[in-house]
Amino acid sequence: MLLASRTFAILVAGLFVATVLFKIALPLFVSTASVKDNMERALSSWTGARARIAGDPELSVWPHPMLTLRDVVFEGGETDAPQKLATADAIAAGFDILAALRGTPVFYDFHLVKPTFTVERRTDGSFNWRRAGWMADAVANASSASPSTVRNIPIGDITIDNGTLDIIDRVTDSAYRVNSISGSVQWQTPTSRMSASLSAVMNGQKVEWSVNCDEPLMLLSGRNSTIQTSFTSTPLSFAFDGTANGSDDPFISGQFQLSARSVSTLLAWRDGHALPGDVDEAIAVDTSMTMAGGTMKMDNLALSLDGDSATGVLDIAWFHRHGPRIDGTLAFERMDIKSLAASFLPPQTGTVSAAELPDIGFLRQLGLDLRLSAQEVSYDPVMLTDVAAGIMAENGRISIDIGDARYSGGSLSGRLALAGDGADGGQLQASLQDADLGSVAATFGLGGPLPLGRGVFSVDLATTQPLSSMTLSGVSGEVRYTARDGVLTNFDAPEFERLASDGDFFPASRAGDGSFAFTTADIVATLKRGEAELVRADIRGDGKTLSFAGVIPYRSGGLALAGAIRPEDTTLKPVRFFIGGSWPNPVISPLSAIPAEP
């Protein structure tokens, strides 16, 4: 037992002495200058850039042979006018001792300390990093019948500690920075499976990104490879699982999921602003996606916008001159227009009209042709059912068409067309057929004498003013209202006639405790310069017809109308009067009460 203990102690002591001697002797047998040169060549071959190491190499053997190089710079361009592509405070790598003793060290398991990478797209579309070196050869020979030996060069783990990525795009004149990059890439050899897990800070928000690729060389060489990737952050998360290639004409096919807090959150994040608080306008996408030739197709699409769910198909195409174009069909069970605008459209950037239309100027940059259907569509307080609609946008001209919808027991159709994404005004045409107009009035809380029945209400309005600063004075057009078999509410015809016969002024409310049954009501008004001119207003009842003519300056809510109650019996005199004041309780002036001119 004692002998065994002594033997073990001797072995441990011998191992320790050998390690110390090896650490002391290694620099004597391995030329640090040679290692430095070899490392520069290896890094240059890896990246396609010229690696330059300013610091002296540091060798260590515990827990395994490791070379550390400090103040590393990668350069591109002409040698007499080099461009800095990347820097690192230090790069450490494991190496093969026997190969190092032979003067041909092989490096693996790289550790990059505070690296900074600059990726620039020039105005001609080229990049500052060129594709060269043994990695480029390995990619080029990925599917060759006689594969290159560089395919088996060891890589190992690549660890990044507090890195920075600067992206400069001269074409779009934009720049982005990703900092605090940390994580690792596991890639034993170019032909083996590659896995990466990285975290970073983008515009003040922590992000995490992971990717797994079974055949990375095939992917980089333009051949298909399976790939799984995910990106997670507070503003945006997405994941993809499928097949892809990295050719000049990339191809992607697989399952894609995306979720975002809201478009306003994404825009704030993109611009580096603080994220809006209390956002509850989530966007979620789950689809089978195929992308090739500058187009992306989403099949079996499940879309959620602030709780409103839809299914359908979308096609997205990118054109170099005309911008992206979106075509497709979406079927909603329920759609809340206000929530949709809040979650899908950019936020308001200034004062808008009373209608609170969303800022849709971004549509100038894309083409759009969407066909929409929904069992229910709400825009408080309006509720439509069985809706079939479409949205089109092209070169700043936008149109929203309602082909058919049910509202208040009738059928609604209409069209909203905007010129210059609303900056040059627009046109609204709408027609509500065979609807219960009494229900419509109740929905909007309209009071006063109103001819209510089943009928048609149509508008044809236009403005040349920008929607963001539109006023009622800038709207022109025509309004038509036709109803049948209804009642004129808050109107007691006999009492009205009695009061008018007395010859005194009186408020309309004094004759408002009854109703007047009519067979037809026909009203036509033109709108111009903030006033509605009654072209025709006839309400025909049993033996009597109420007629009105005049002007309604709706900017002030006032009235200036001449009216008459005409009996069918022509032997009877009509009751004539003037209506002034404001709605819904104007003042009635019998003509006999208006003094004649002297």
Per-residue pLDDT at 525 exceeds 90: yes
Mean pLDDT of the chain: 81
pLDDT > 70: percent of the chain? 80
Domain ranges of the chain: 294-345+360-394, 486-593
The average pLDDT across 194-213 equals 94
Per-residue pLDDT at 287 exceeds 60: yes
DSSP string, 202-261: ETTEEEEEEEEES-HHHHHTT--EEEEEEEE-SSEEEEEEEEEE-SSS-EEEEEEEEEES
What is the spatial distance between Cα 269 and Cα 236, in angstroms, rounded to a whole number?
10
Residue whose structure tokens are 């198909």: 313
Question: 115 φ, ψ to 5°?
Answer: -80, 150
532-547 tens-digit pLDDT: 899 889 999 988 999 9
| 514 vs 343: which has the higher pLDDT | 514
Strand-pairing partners, residue 317, are 295, 325
The one-letter amino acid at 256: F
Per-residue pLDDT at 16 exceeds 70: no
577-586 tens-digit pLDDT: 999 988 778 8
pLDDT at 26: 47
93-118 tens-digit pLDDT: 887 766 555 556 677 888 999 999 99
Per-residue pLDDT at 281 exceeds 50: yes
Strand-pairing partners, residue 369, are 327, 392
pLDDT at 342: 57
Per-residue pLDDT at 263 exceeds 80: no
pLDDT at 24: 45
348-371 tens-digit pLDDT: 444 444 444 555 555 566 788 999
pLDDT at 503: 81
The least confident of 140-144, 148-152, 344-348, 483-487 is 344-348
What is the spatial distance between Cα 449 and Cα 510, in angstroms, rounded to a whole number?
12
Indicate the pTM of the whole model: 0.73
pLDDT at 286: 95
Element (H, E) at 68: strand 66-76
What is the spatial distance between Cα 291 and Cα 218, in angstroms, rounded to a whole number?
18
What is the spatial distance between Cα 215 and Cα 351, in angstroms, rounded to a whole number?
54
The average pLDDT across 372-381 equals 89
458-494 tens-digit pLDDT: 999 988 877 666 677 778 899 999 999 999 998 999 9
